[in-house]
Structure 1
């Protein structure tokens, strides 16, 4: 940090010894040591706080990116779901219409068959008396009786 050589430190020590005196020099050196220790701790705390704030900014930035990515995935899944759902709903609707049409057709065929069957029994009942009046050939001889 500071480019101070050993000879410069010795010069400062000699000047301090002359100015402060040998009696007070240990007390002043101790006080300066405590102040330098406090300054180092203060600088370390500031560095830690700055690093923590930068980490918080990075985390919030990453959180924002993750939220954007999650929203993008959710939107794409919703779009894909809608893309698949619309044709399926149309096919389901067409199948329901075809089922209804087939049910109606089957009902019509049943009704027509019932009508034809009742008409056939009515016709058979009216044609049987006439058939009884016609002479049936004898099966053994083949002549009408």
Structure 2
């Protein structure tokens, strides 16, 4: 863009020394450097803001594109489809006659002795005690009335 060689820079430095003077030249160069730094920061900030706006526009375009794809796929409701299939299965089961299931025979307990006659009792009933086992101390404590109560 700017094609400045060493000879042009030497001419600019000589003119600056003559116009500004050797005494004020360092202060002028520092001010020029600060102004260039501010211009670079401003351009960097502008560029980052511009890039951020572009990224947001791309994301919005991606969201819009995904929304269009979903609409193009159709309005499918997986839960609604599942509900319909379950209802269809239930109606099919209701239409079929239900066959009674075979009940397995209950094993009988063996007789305790040959001379004693006992009624046949299912194994489950024979193995389950009719009253839960409670320690004797708990039974007596429950039957004794607490002191000061009228029994």
TM-score normalised over the length of structure 1 = 0.52
Cα displacement (A) at 1:66: 1.4
Q: For structure 1, which runs of at least 5 residues remain unmatched after alignment?
A: 100-145
Cα displacement (A) at 1:70: 2.4
State how far apart, in whole Å, the 2-side matches of 1:28 and 1:96 are: 98
Q: Map residues 1-145 of structure 1 onto 2, 5 A cutoff.
A: 1-75=1-75
Change (3 A) 1:30 1:94: closer
Q: For structure 2, which runs of at least 5 residues remain unmatched after alignment?
A: 98-151
Q: Deviations over 1:91-118 (max 9, x none)?
A: x98998898xxxxxxxxxxxxxxxxxxx
Higher RCO (CA-CA < 8 Å; seq separation 6+) = 2
State how far apart, in whole Å, the 2-side matches of 1:9 and 1:63 are: 53
Larger radius of gyration: 1
DSSP-derived class of the 2:22 partner: coil
State how far apart, in whole Å, the 1-side matches of 2:2 and 2:41 are: 18
State how far apart, in whole Å, the 2-side matches of 1:20 and 1:76 are: 79
DSSP-derived class of the 2:71 partner: helix
State how far apart, in whole Å, the 2-side matches of 1:76 and 1:20 are: 79
State how far apart, in whole Å, the 2-side matches of 1:37 and 1:2 are: 19
Cα displacement (A) at 1:43: 0.8
Q: Deviations over 1:106-142 (max 9, x none)?
A: xxxxxxxxxxxxxxxxxxxxxxxxxxxxxxxxxxxxx
Runs of 4+ in 1 over 3 A off after TM superposition: 92-99
Change (3 A) 1:96 1:45: same
